[in-house]
Amino acid sequence: MPGGPDQRWALADAEDGLIGTIGLNGIDLLHGRAELAYDLDPHWQGQGLATHAARAVLDWGHAVRRLVRIQATVLDSNARSIAVLERLGMQREGLLHAYRHVRGHPRNFWLFAHLEGAVTSPR
């Protein structure tokens, strides 16, 4: 729901088949922040779709929800997702050690952030 703590959208192919999701988690309007989250079917990766959709969500979050900060966490070994965040102009802020368990083991995640008014990559 638009006023709730999360906002998610489906990513669909030309036949309305689900190929992924994207959205903002933990929207905190009091502090003007949220976390960008997305997933995309591996068949559709590498085509710029995640970057395009994430850019729209960043723009929407800053303009419509008036978020000052939109952040994202990414597994330190996920080179494709790191590249998406960098293409969006998100800044790498630091490494979160043993931040989340992945397949039963604590793993490190990078923290990225995009601040309102920051320049995003060219469309």
33: which DSSP letter?
Answer: E
Looking at residue 60, its pLDDT comes to: 96
121 in a domain, yes or no? no
Of the candidates 123, 112, 116, which has an alpha carbon nearest to the alpha carbon of residue 36? 112
Residue 41 lies in a domain: yes
Nearest to 7 by CA among 49, 37, 46, 50: 37
Which residues constitute the domain of residue 51?
7-115
**How many Å separate Cα 82 from the centre of its chain?**
10
Compute how many other C-beta atoms are within 10 angstroms of the C-beta atom of residue 22: 21
- As a whole number of angstroms, the distance between CA 80 and CA 40 comes to 11
pLDDT at residue 1, rounded to an integer = 40
Averages of pLDDT over each 10 residues, the chain, 123 residues: 76 97 97 97 96 97 97 97 97 98 97 86 51
Domain count, the chain: 1
The predicted model scores a pTM of 0.90
Q: CATH code at 62? A: 3.40.630.30
